[in-house]
Amino acid sequence: MFYDFLAGQHGLTLLETALMSAWVFAGASQFLSVELWGDPLPVGALLATVLVINVRHVLMGATIGPWFKHVRPAQAYVSLFFLTDESWGLSVAEIRQGRRDAAFMLGSGLTLYLFSNTGTILGRVFGEMLPDLNRYGIDFLGTAFFVALLAGFWRGRSDLLPWTVAAAVALVMERFVGGTWYILGGALAGSLVGAWRHVR
């Protein structure tokens, strides 16, 4: 929602803003790309940062991999292009309820894609006419959505350890490592602890 405002502030044209939104369907990557945008463009740093942030999609894709065993590779790859934190969260909830329709992933992701890109274009066009929305706390909506989504994944006390480890590692790395490594570190730490508990 706020990527379009940042893009305008950093000098991206409407076309550049729309193309980045369409080709890089990942909110965090869009935000960081805009923040790193400059002259000269730091291509190496930009690519490395985006890669680190999106490594989590490998783990996310693996969790919904069973859905795609019975579809053609082209269908699976097209569906995975629309993989986001939100569509993944909704898909995992579907899997946990015993549903096995791979089209759900494509449908949820494509819906988000259309709304996201439409909102980006409208926000870029009309954004400069609006006041500073952050003073109304509207920038908290994304965080609120993720908190609500996370609450739906809570299965009981068995989730407490991996969640705590993930949060602790992320906080420590954010404090001492810097950059965006804390996202990957927290995700991997929590995932490994969860896998270890599952094996046990």
What count of other Cβ atoms lies within 10 Å of the Cβ of residue 26? 17
The residue that leads in pLDDT, 145 or 174, is 174
Smallest Cα–Cα separation from 3: which of 31, 37, 35? 31
**Helix (H), strand (E) at residue 36:** helix 27-36
First to last CA, the chain: 42
pLDDT of 146 over the 70 cut: no
The per-residue pLDDT for 139 is 55
d(CA 24, CA 90): 21
Residue 110 backbone dihedrals phi, psi, to 5 degrees = -65, -40
Greater confidence (59 vs 45) lies with 59
198 with 159: CB under 8 angstroms?
A: no
Mean pLDDT is highest, among 47-61, 110-124, 168-182, 185-199, for: 110-124
Mean pLDDT for 98-126 is: 85
Over residues 33-51, mean pLDDT: 72
The predicted structure's pLDDT at residue 14? 85
